[in-house]
A and B are shown apart, each in its own frame.
Chain A
């Protein structure tokens, strides 16, 4: 495994950084959250329509660039750094990932429209992500709890009738396409993935929610007997469940990358402020109390970067080895790497946002300065697609419960220095 970035990857990262620095500066973000429900339409048009960012991970067969998790995390980091108010996470990380797992022709059509920047989309799953924290090994797909699916589909003469509600769907109010995982009624344990073309659907109600973190819009979605044609079913059974589970894990990784960018910006804002702010006749950046806290932010950030890049590369390696076949489930080692990345990112972003406010002093507490935006985003992200408790619980199961068998054979040679100490103590006692 080589974690050096290729020339192309460096270019993706740097050009994304440049575009977003110009187009998603603080003023643009504030404009979007105060006036346009957290969505910067012009920026979205540029990124999706002109720059083709939505094609990044879409398979080449569907008109995408076919790039991997590594490229995506580099882009997501830059989005997180600038709190870009665009439905990229929902459209690309959620919907496109799920669609790419579906064999149906309809899915391929949607994918190419996403790649072309024509539509935005989301996955109708609660933003918690459906991670199972109780007993991962009991799930068909490790870590994903099908009980988080709350929509039911009843077969009708023409297709299916969907009913149910989802409390928090990311970009749920504005997405052109909503992918809905649902239980097939009367067929126990069968999940299917449906497409909802939101333009003309009776019985679909989407209510935007007022949120603490206004940079990522959420909506409550209610389906009251929504009729869809038969071909709205994109995947069924094990395929659907695998597609959703894979998407949920990929989303966790992408979000971790986004959190990394947010954490980095908290540090950068703090460094800039501390270099300018003078007290006691010197820049506060020269005080060791400030330096050490900034250094600690750097430790958390670089640790997160290592975890994110490592997990992304593990994902890509597994994908290459499996020949990108949807039916092949991800190796557990990739999932635990993602869990490690998300847990690390949750904590790092929250820590850095908290420190940014503290080190800005009084102005850190104001609406006018930016740390508050990151502080709220950090909190919200830490509960979306993998909480620290859920991720650690998943890891614990992997590390603790599966190690019992091997424990017996593990050699434990005795440490000399300490053994000598033991002898010395015993001699003294005797």
Chain B
């Protein structure tokens, strides 16, 4: 059987499974969740993760010996496309499955893999990411949170993390903390795994400009990280943290694009309803947005082609990979603005019974975050100039 036939079979299998499982009690999850809608049905979406796990749809790219299915990039893309096409909900388990799991597989101990990978795979343990701090935004290495070894060899953590997505719905957090008090910048950091449900941790929601609260502040006051829950060695945290970010590319982008396609369709529908579908300027902007969708699709295919042929991981620095975040986030922000212009005066009216308008208002508001989180526009441009074009690096300040 050739791979084309195999892929078609997989596509049909995913589509079939989704149609028989995303129904009944899960029907309300269709098209829900994901950035901007993370507060939708968190408990039910966790249950959905267990449903996925029992269907064998977690850990697709993980090696078999770690409980994964060792799928090729092309196969994973097919899963994500069909998942999104069926309206599969935003994944609660994404941070564990997509980021921490692969990091532990690459850099963790056998003991850590044995203790943490099963909970990620079977949808019972949920993770969040403790990187950003009030003083460490774009300057991610400027970590102030510190971890000190206590008498028993465990770590006591003091400090604060911020913009922690889904911390309130998570069980564990991975944290980069300064274990060498004398160090600065990206040296002297360590990568710690910590349970959230403990006396030294407090989680406070941050209310966003769209009224939701997907992000949190997480405060650490002598919170415990067990000695065996440090990944790598003390002082090796930056390398581990960067390894993890390296996993944050590619695979799910085609699924995200399905959502973008859907949003543009809503804009087109709204244009018909508002009677502006024949307005030349509106038409041109919609056509530009559609053009951007094609660019994103083919750009993602280039990225995946690079990732699948390039075992060294150098594909992460290919120019098409470097532009991707900047491209989609600015496209999405423009789409939100276009949606509001199409709605005209009504864009200003809140009416929760008008689902389309409400969703488009959500795109307008939440897409403001897209060009800020995971590397602001300005940082993205720096990275492109320095890594993509080899231009001089920004000098460090002295403050």
Contacts and interface: CB of A to CB of B under 8 A. Distances in A.
A4 interface: yes
Contact of A415 (B291, B306, B308, B359): B359
B265 A403 contact: yes
B31 A411 contact: yes
Contact of B31 (A303, A396, A413): A413
Nearest to B308: A4
A395 B296 CA distance: 16
Contacts of A307: 291, 294-295, 298
A430 interface: no
B383 to A, nearest CB: 8
A415 B362 contact: yes
Given A294-B391, A413-B30, A337 B294 contact: yes
Interface in A17-54: none
Given A395-B287, A403-B268, A412-B355, A298 B298 contact: no
Contacts of A404: 272
Contacts of A411: 30-31, 87
B211 A340 contact: no
Contacts, number: 219
A396 to B, nearest CB: 4
Given A285-B392, A295-B384, A411-B87, A303 B37 contact: no
Contacts of A310: 294, 297-298, 301
A396 B287 contact: yes
A415 B364 CA distance: 13
Interface stretch (B9-17, B238-246, B319-327): B319-327
B381 A407 contact: no
B277 interface: yes
Interface stretch (A235-243, A370-378, A416-424): A416-424
Q: How large is the interface on A (under 10, 10 to 19, 20 to 34, 35 or more residues)?
A: 35 or more
Consensus secondary structure, chain B interface: helix
Nearest to A389: B284
Contact of A340 (B290, B305, B319): B290
Consensus secondary structure, chain A interface: helix
B1 interface: no
B309 A4 contact: yes
Interface string B249-273: 0000000000000101110110110
B23 interface: no
A-B residue pairs, 6 tightest by C-beta: A421-B211, A417-B212, A310-B298, A4-B305, A416-B40, A291-B385
Interface in B147-206: none
A393 B285 CA distance: 10
B228 interface: no
B11 to A, nearest CB: 14
A302 interface: yes
A395 B87 CA distance: 26
Contact of B384 (A3, A298, A410): A298
A425 interface: yes
Interface of A: 1-4, 267, 271, 274-275, 283, 285-286, 288, 290-292, 294-296, 298-299, 301-303, 305-307, 309-311, 336-337, 339-340, 343-344, 389, 391-393, 395-396, 399-401, 403-404, 406-407, 410-426
A125 B299 CA distance: 33
A195 B395 CA distance: 64
A301 B389 CA distance: 12
Given A4-B306, A307-B298, A419 B358 contact: yes
A376 B193 CA distance: 58
Contacts of A4: 305-306, 308-309
B298 A420 contact: no
Given A4-B308, A407-B269, A414 B323 contact: no
7 contacts: A4-B306, A292-B378, A309-B298, A392-B287, A414-B359, A416-B40, A422-B352
A81 to B, nearest CB: 15
Nearest to A268: B389
Contacts of A391: 287
B36 interface: yes
